[in-house]
Structures are given as C-alpha cells and as structure tokens.
Amino acid sequence: MDDEFESVYQVLGKDFPNAGKVSTSIKDTLKRLGVQSAVVRRVAIVSYEAEMNLVMYAVRGTVTLTVSPDAVTLNIADEGPGIPDVSLAMQEGYSTATPEMREMGFGAGMGLPNIKRNADEFDIQSEVGKGTHLFVRVRQAA
Amino acid sequence: MTSLKSITLEEVRKLLNAEVLSGEDLSIKVEVVGAADLLSDVLATSKPGTLLLTGLVSTQVIRTAVVADLCGVVFVRGKKPGDEILALARESGIPVLATQLKMFESAGRLYKAISES
C-alpha cells in the first residue's frame, strides 16, 4: 500500500436502524487494504463510537477515512448541537443521553473516553449550535 | 500465555441449554467470555474473540460484535432477538445463541467449564 487512500461516508442523525453501518464498511475496507488487524479493530471501535454519537446527537455528518502507509486517520465532522463543555464530556461516566440511547446499550458517558483510549493522536473541536469535529489517528507499525 | 484454555461453541450450547439462532460452525473455540449490557463497556474492555453474554437486545449488539471482533453472542434471560437482528447476524457471520438462564448462572457455568478445560 504505497498510495494514500481516502473515502468519505455520510451519516444521518437519528438514523438508528443504520447506525454502525459506516463503521462496518470502514472495517471491511481496512481489512481489504491489508491493514494489521489490531489497528483495524482500534479504528473500527473509534469509528463506531463516533458514528453512534453522531446518530444520537447530530443532524448529519461525515466520516472521512484516510489510510497512509504509516497511519489510519478518521475525521468526523457533524452539524449538530455541539458540546458546551468538552472537558466534562471527556470524563468517563458523564452523559447527556436519553433513555432511548441507553436502551440501545450506549449513552453511559463512555464514548469519547473510549475513542481517546484507542487513538494515538486525538483532537476535538466543538462549537455550540454548529457542530463537532473529531480527529483521530491510529499509527501503523512500520 | 501458552496453551490457552478453551471450549467450543457447541459445548457452550450444551452447557447453557441454548438454542442456536445464527451460525453453522459451532467448532469455534471460546477462550474469553464477557458479560455486559452496556456496549460501550464491551468496546472498551473486550478482547478479540470474546464471547458476549448479554440481556440487551438490539441490532447494535451485532454491530458491536462485528466491530470488536467478538466470536459470538449469547442472549440470556430468555431474550429473543427479532428477525432483523438475526438477519444482520447471519449476514455478518456472527453466531447467536439464546438461553433461558440468567446472566450470573450463564457466566458461572462457562467460567467453570473454561477454567477446568
């Protein structure tokens, strides 16, 4: 894999039946590209938590997957309510989830901490009333 | 870690008097079992190849199994996943079992079987 690979996926807010589909296809793509399975798993977990957040909270958004020989990068950008206090949202257990979100097995305030735990590089920018942008990079062993 | 202890999915089926709802190959080896109703916990703590015991019934359980490389899912407490969930499981190649036993009893039986295997 010498060239950089990029793919953009659309995610719709409140589209619960399809929530997780994008992450499944990202996973398939990474496997097809021959990315090491431990890296595939970390990226898939990051993507899935971010996709669930997007479906649960945002209006719409995109997940951009970039694969280069040394790293896999995800940029997740949404149009949505934004996060008023990012440092609070990064705390394990802090949650603003509704009962419906919890019934699906999410919304326990674990998503963002899980994303960060699986990332080698992590950045989050959020503006209330506009949306949130997540940047995650997982490095590939040489 | 050398010589990991394991049991097969077929043994899991027998131990839990479980019904097989998806999956044809029950010779898959199970080395780790996790019990959880919170998918974020599964994503945060499970190892690849984990067999998940859960009382949570949702398509997200199957997607979590795919994303986290789980070897299968056992629905406990007599929970029956709907057709949509089972269709996704079959399409994704995730074995699904269902047992009437509760989470504690299921986990206990499997823990004993794996540690004595």
Q: Which residues of chain B are at the A interface, by a Cβ-Cβ cutoff of 8 Å?
A: 37-41, 43-44, 48, 56, 58-61, 63-64, 66-69, 84, 92
For residue B3, the model assigns a pLDDT of: 53
In percent, the amount of chain A with pLDDT more than 90 equals: 88
Mean pLDDT of B108-112: 97
Full set of structural domains in chain B with CATH: 7-115 (3.40.1390.20)
Structure tokens at A3: 């060239």
What's the first-to-final CA gap in chain B, in angstroms? 15
In percent, the amount of chain A with pLDDT more than 70 equals: 99
Q: Is a pLDDT exceeding 90 seen at residue A103?
A: no
How high is the ipTM of this complex? 0.91
Residue A129, helix vs strand vs coil: coil
Q: State which residue of chain A sits closest to B67, comparing Cα positions.
A: A44
Pairing verdict, β B96-98 and B72-75? parallel
How many whole angstroms separate alpha carbon A100 and alpha carbon A92?
A: 20
Domain borders along chain A are: 5-139
Tell me, what amino acid is at B54? T
pLDDT averaged over every residue in chain A: 95
Quick: pLDDT tens for B1-41: 445 799 999 999 999 999 999 999 999 999 999 999 999 99
Tell me, what amino acid is at B5? K
For residue B1, the model assigns a pLDDT of: 45
Distance from CA of B27 to the nearest CA of A (A): 22
Name the architecture of domain A5-139.
2-Layer Sandwich (3.30)
How many whole angstroms separate alpha carbon A35 and alpha carbon A37?
A: 6
